[in-house]
Amino acid sequence: MKRFRNILCVVELGGICEPVLERAVTLAENNQARLTVVDVAPHLAANIIMPKGGHTTAELQAEVVNTQRQQLETLVEPYTNRVKLETKVLVGTPFLEIIREILRNGRDLVIKLPERQNWQERLFGSDDMHLLRKCPCPVWLIQPRARNTYRRILAAVDVDNAYPQKELETRRALNHQVIELASSLALAESAELHIVHAWDAPGESAMRHSAFTKTSDESVDDWVEQVKQQHSDSMDAFMNEAADIVGQDALDYLEQQRHLMRGQPRDEIPALAKRIDADLIVMGTVARTGVLGFIMGNTAETILNRIDCSVLALKPPGFTSPVTLDE
């Protein structure tokens, strides 16, 4: 079963911190993991105008960091009797400094509350979206209203075989990570485990309504049923693989529920999450083959913008962040 060893919890002083701190501390307890709680202070440019006879820019920066460090230590003090933790104040652009902290110290999970995005952030990219695209380790976004104990966990997988071989291998490995982590969490939380794959029959409308060739409705219906059966067979094969990864006894104990949904993932996954009142979606985000760094697909971003529950987003094996320590 998946265990986290080095957790990074990101808070924003002055905001709601209790849900993410409680989840991070509980994870650290259950995994006997190292826990570091950080906040990110803004970088003060050296050329900003300062009052005469007052602080220098460097002195003011140091004062800001020291104040936030004291506030951070006060915030985590109630949890120090449960786990050993450390605090840090990073300085700079939040997503960059969080990723550099991960790279420097080998963190294997970052956990934080999601941002409230305005229209500019949706257009140009919030810190959360930058993290989801570029962070080398899993990113867990905790909804402020999240239950302390999860009841239903939804694992979103893609078992479609219609990809080039290299990408198919990446997606298969990502599916394995998703089911391993979702199962581990469901066992730890005594939660229901739901597994979803969305499929469609591309070209069906063209076959039914083409002005050039006419395929009978009966033939199209048979073809759609064949496509559905292919996806069902792929789901069965994946669950056999899952039994090898997680253990058949664990899957039997969880009484996992499978959902083979017809439609686009960006529509069907949020709809299912809402219908079953999911507390957490565990999903992969897929890199484009051959591209340095990470580009999250439109499907994943659309899903993340449509759900109200917490989400745990995983990277493909071998992913390398485009963020470096040299910048």
- Give residue 15's pLDDT band: very low, low, confident or very high (50, 70, 90): confident
Query: Are residues 140 and 183 located together in one domain of the fold?
Result: no
Average pLDDT for 124-148: 86
Query: Are residues 160 and 246 located together in one domain of the fold?
Result: yes
The pLDDT, as a whole number, for residue 213 is 66
CB proximity list for 176: less than 8 A, separation 6 or greater: 241, 242, 245
CATH code, domain with 32: 3.40.50.620
Mean of all residue pLDDT scores within the chain = 86
Residue 104 has pLDDT above 50, yes or no: yes
Query: Are residues 130 and 179 located together in one domain of the fold?
Result: no
Share above pLDDT 70 across residues of the chain, in percent, rounded to a whole number? 86
Backbone phi and psi for residue 260, each to the nearest 5 degrees, phi listed first: -105, 100
Q: Domain boundary at 118, 145, 172, which?
A: 145
Query: Are residues 162 and 303 located together in one domain of the fold?
Result: yes
Tens of pLDDT, residue by residue over 233-274, are 999 999 999 999 999 999 989 989 999 999 988 899 999 999
Query: Are residues 185 and 326 located together in one domain of the fold?
Result: yes
Tens of pLDDT, residue by residue over 220-235, are 888 888 999 999 999 9
CATH code, domain with 184: 3.40.50.12370
Tens of pLDDT, residue by residue over 152-202, are 999 999 999 888 888 888 889 999 999 999 999 999 999 999 999 999 887
Query: What does pTM read for this prediction?
Result: 0.88
The pLDDT, as a whole number, for residue 47 is 66
The pLDDT, as a whole number, for residue 325 is 87
- Give residue 124's pLDDT band: very low, low, confident or very high (50, 70, 90): very low
Q: Domain boundary at 145, 161, 183, which?
A: 145
Torsion sign (Cα): 61, 62, 67, 73? positive
Query: Are residues 228 and 91 located together in one domain of the fold?
Result: no
Please give the Cα distance from 41 to 32 (Å, whole number): 29
134 CB neighbour count, 10 Å cutoff: 22
Tens of pLDDT, residue by residue over 272-313, are 999 999 999 999 886 444 333 333 456 777 788 888 899 999
Provide the domain limits for residue 191: 147-327
Residue 203 to residues 200, 206, 215, Cα–Cα distance (Å): 9, 5, 12
Altogether, the residues listed in the chain come to a count of 327
Share above pLDDT 90 across residues of the chain, in percent, rounded to a whole number? 57
C-beta separation of 221 from 286 below 8 A:
no
- Helix (H, G, I), strand (E, B), or coil: what is residue 63? helix
The pLDDT, as a whole number, for residue 303 is 82
- Give residue 50's pLDDT band: very low, low, confident or very high (50, 70, 90): low
The pLDDT, as a whole number, for residue 176 is 95
Query: Which is nearest to 64 in space by CA: 30, 29, 91?
Result: 91
- Give residue 57's pLDDT band: very low, low, confident or very high (50, 70, 90): confident
Query: Are residues 157 and 79 located together in one domain of the fold?
Result: no
Domain count, the chain: 2
The pLDDT, as a whole number, for residue 122 is 47
